[in-house]
């Protein structure tokens, strides 16, 4: 196989893979590597993809955060992006850009009201279940506690009336 054919083959394979879902550079490189392409072929294909803006880790990061910020916490999103090969600096930069849109407390409160509004917050087991639910989704313990405490006080006030 000559080099130019392999180069276009790696590029074509990458374009084909991108038809199914948006991917990071690392994800594409790993997939191409698993298909037997050399590092040089992969680098050349990724350079060409980047020049066409078919693959862009910054826009991927922004899109990923926006699509997940209403159901996952900042910690979990950051960890998932890091696993996808996104640089920490890019992740932090994109979270800073979205700081006005991304309100973790608002997200916790929205989810809390949808899923746990009828819960007995005076029951320790129920509280632990709620807190565990949010922790598994990467939300901050302090912010979870703040929301649970807020609704616990509201429930206590409503019960006094």
- Residue 101, pLDDT > 80, answer no
pLDDT for 63-90, tens place per residue?
999 999 889 999 999 999 999 999 999 9
Cα dihedral sign for 145, 106, 90, 24? Answer: positive
pLDDT for 127-140, tens place per residue?
999 999 999 999 99
Question: Environment class of residue 124 by beta-carbon count within 10 Å: exposed (0-12), middle (13-18) or buried (19+)?
Answer: exposed
pLDDT of residue 7: 52
CB 71 within 8 A of CB 111: yes
At a CB cut-off of 8 Å and minimum separation 6, what does 147 contact?
A: 105, 108, 109, 112
Q: pTM of the predicted model, to two decimals? A: 0.82
Q: How many CB atoms lie within 10 A of CB 150?
A: 13
CB 35 within 8 A of CB 45: no
Closest of 23, 93, 27 to residue 55, by C-alpha? 23
Q: How many CB atoms lie within 10 A of CB 1?
A: 7
Tokens of 32: 């191409």
């Amino acid at each position: 196989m000559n080099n130019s054919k392999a180069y276009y083959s790696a590029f074509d394979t990458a374009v084909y893979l991108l038809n199914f879902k948006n991917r990071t550079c690392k994800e594409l490189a790993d997939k191409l590597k698993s298909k037997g392409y050399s590092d040089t072929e992969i680098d050349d294909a990724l350079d060409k993809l980047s020049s066409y803006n078919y693959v862009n880790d910054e826009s991927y990061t922004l899109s990923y955060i926006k699509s997940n910020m209403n159901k996952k916490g900042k910690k979990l999103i950051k960890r998932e992006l890091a696993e996808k090969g996104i640089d920490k600096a890019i992740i932090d930069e994109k979270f800073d850009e979205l700081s006005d849109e991304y309100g973790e407390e608002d997200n916790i409160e929205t989810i809390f009201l949808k899923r746990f509004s009828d819960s007995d917050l005076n029951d320790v087991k129920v509280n632990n279940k709620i807190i565990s639910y949010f922790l598994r989704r990467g939300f901050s313990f302090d912010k979870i506690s703040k929301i649970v405490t807020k609704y616990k006080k509201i429930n206590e006030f409503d019960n006094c009336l």
